[in-house]
């Protein structure tokens, strides 16, 4: 049993959620962050911790893992409660939110969080990688869907399946340290950004189009793969690592049952205060939606600050929505727990 009483519960520990944890602490609010993943960072930690990110303000480039680490360090002085590996399954209204009441978020493992306001920063919800049919019997034996540590691929022959940005980014990252990198895509056109494709071609990465991986060979680990192409028929090449960068499926799961308006079962409409149709429940980051929405990490940071400031005013109307700039005043003291 885990029972917590706080001011603001942040649902989702991705970049927007971590910044919301910092800003809630800055506003003097007791905050907890809940996430079904076992570590903070959301999609960044799960899918591309070693990838360079180029569109975060103030950073010409920053590695995903470093960005997450910095966000956790930024929030640390305010002692947020992290409830990781804990899916938020149910949301119940307790009393009248904004007038002494709030919300109860719970799950089947005994989690019970009482909060005066809730900020949903769940990204794309729960996501699962699209499987590579030919690798069905090789899970965990040389097959991966995300690259967590590029050093594991050094000196190996790598086959990457896919034609999106992730496939090309990993090809670019591993080229030079891996013995060989072959990228296989079923179409001639790519979903990846043209500049990324050009960089891979310039680097001399072997790109096989209108092709598919049809079989894998090996006993304890993958040793070779079969590739079928309209250009050269079938061939078998040495391979000790296969990366299936085929995208993923995602759904909001239990959030769909929370009584919150959800657009196309994917996005939560919000107003200019980042509030949903449920008073006291706000949303920030990739999961929310409004006219002109741009899904960037940098945008999510601003939405998180807006959501927290309006949540602070919702909890206590005597608090201003805008507290002033951090350079003008010290953070508000966090109430004793």
Same domain assignment for residues 198 and 259: no
Q: Are residues 299 and 185 in the same domain?
A: no
Can you read off the two tokens belonging to residue 240? 């000790």
Average pLDDT per block of 10 residues along the chain, 337 residues long: 91 96 97 90 78 89 93 97 92 92 94 96 75 78 81 95 89 92 94 89 93 90 91 90 84 87 92 97 96 96 98 96 81 56
| Residue 327 counted as domain residue | no
Per the structure, the complete domain to which residue 237 belongs is given by 131-244
The model's pLDDT over 120-150, given as tens digits with 9 standing for 90+, comes to 998 776 667 788 888 877 766 788 887 878 8
What pLDDT, on a 0 to 100 scale, did the predictor assign at position 336? 44
Q: 88 among the known binding-site residues?
A: yes
- What is the number of H-type helices and E-type strands within the chain? 6, 21
Q: Is residue 334 part of a domain?
A: no
Both 253 and 187 in a single domain? no
Same domain (yes/no): 17, 54: yes
Q: Of 244, 268, 284, which marks where a domain is finished? A: 244
Q: Which two tokens stand for residue 172?
A: 């670019």
Residues 80 and 153 in one domain: no
Same domain as 239, residue 264: no
β-pair type (206-208, 180-184): parallel
194 part of a folded domain: yes
For residues 58 and 200, state if they share a domain.
no
For residues 278 and 173, membership in a common domain is answered with: no
Distance, CA of 279 to CA of 121 (rounded, Å): 16
Per the annotation, does 327 bind a ligand? yes
Assigned domain for 330 exists: no
Q: State whether 192 and 221 are in the same domain.
A: yes
Do residues 205 and 175 make contact, with C-beta atoms less than 8 angstroms apart?
yes
DSSP secondary structure letters along 7-59: EEEEE--SHHHHHHHHHHHHTT--EEEEESSSSTTTHHHHH-TTSEE--STT-
- Number of folded domains in the chain? 2
Report pLDDT for 74: 97
The CATH number for 238's domain is 3.50.50.60
Whether 298 is in a domain gets the answer yes
> Residue 177: what pLDDT?
94
Check whether 127 is labelled as a binding-site residue.
yes
- Residue 144: CA count within 13 A, CB half-sphere: 19
User: How far is it, in rounded angstroms, from Cα 126 to Cα 133?
Assistant: 22
Q: Which of 225, 244, 263 is the last residue of a domain?
A: 244
Of 196, 216, 244, the one marking the end of a domain is 244
117 with 10, same domain? yes
For 336, the token pair is 């004793």
Same domain, 302 and 274: yes
Q: Is the same domain home to 107 and 164?
A: no
Instruction: Determine, yes or no, domain membership for 145.
Output: yes
Residue 325 lies in a domain: no
Please give the structure tokens belonging to residue 320. 């201003």
């Amino acid at each position: 049993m885990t029972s917590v009483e706080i001011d603001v519960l942040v649902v989702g520990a991705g970049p927007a959620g971590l910044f919301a944890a910092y800003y809630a602490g800055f506003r003097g609010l007791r905050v907890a962050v809940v996430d079904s993943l076992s570590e903070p960072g959301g999609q960044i930690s799960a899918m591309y911790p070693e990838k360079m990110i180029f569109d975060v303000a103030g950073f010409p480039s920053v590695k995903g893992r470093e960005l997450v680490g910095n966000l956790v360090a930024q929030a640390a002085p305010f002692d947020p409660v992290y409830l990781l590996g804990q899916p938020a399954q149910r949301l119940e209204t307790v009393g009248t939110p904004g007038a002494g009441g709030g919300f109860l978020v719970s799950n089947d493992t005994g989690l019970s969080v009482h909060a005066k306001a809730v900020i949903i920063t769940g990204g794309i919800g729960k996501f699962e990688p699209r499987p590579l049919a030919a690798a069905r019997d090789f899970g965990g034996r040389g097959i991966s869907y995300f690259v967590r540590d590029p050093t594991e691929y050094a000196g190996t022959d790598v086959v990457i399946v896919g034609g999106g940005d992730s496939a090309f980014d990993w090809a670019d990252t591993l080229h030079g340290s891996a013995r060989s990198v072959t990228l296989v895509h079923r179409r001639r056109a790519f979903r990846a950004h043209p500049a990324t494709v050009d960089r891979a071609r310039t680097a001399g990465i072997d790109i096989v189009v209108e092709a598919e991986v049809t079989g894998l060979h090996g006993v304890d680990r993958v040793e070779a793969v079969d590739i079928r192409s309209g250009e050269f028929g079938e061939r078998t090449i040495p391979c000790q690592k296969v990366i299936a960068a085929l995208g993923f499926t995602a759904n909001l799961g239990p959030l769909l049952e929370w009584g919150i308006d959800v657009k196309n079962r994917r996005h939560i409409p919000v107003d200019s205060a980042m509030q949903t149709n449920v008073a006291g429940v706000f949303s920030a980051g990739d999961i929310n939606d409004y006219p002109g929405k741009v899904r960037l990490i940098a945008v999510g940071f601003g939405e998180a600050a807006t959501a927290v400031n309006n949540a602070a005013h919702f909890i206590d109307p005597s608090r201003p929505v805008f507290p002033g700039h951090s350079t003008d005043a010290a953070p508000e003291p966090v109430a004793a727990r």
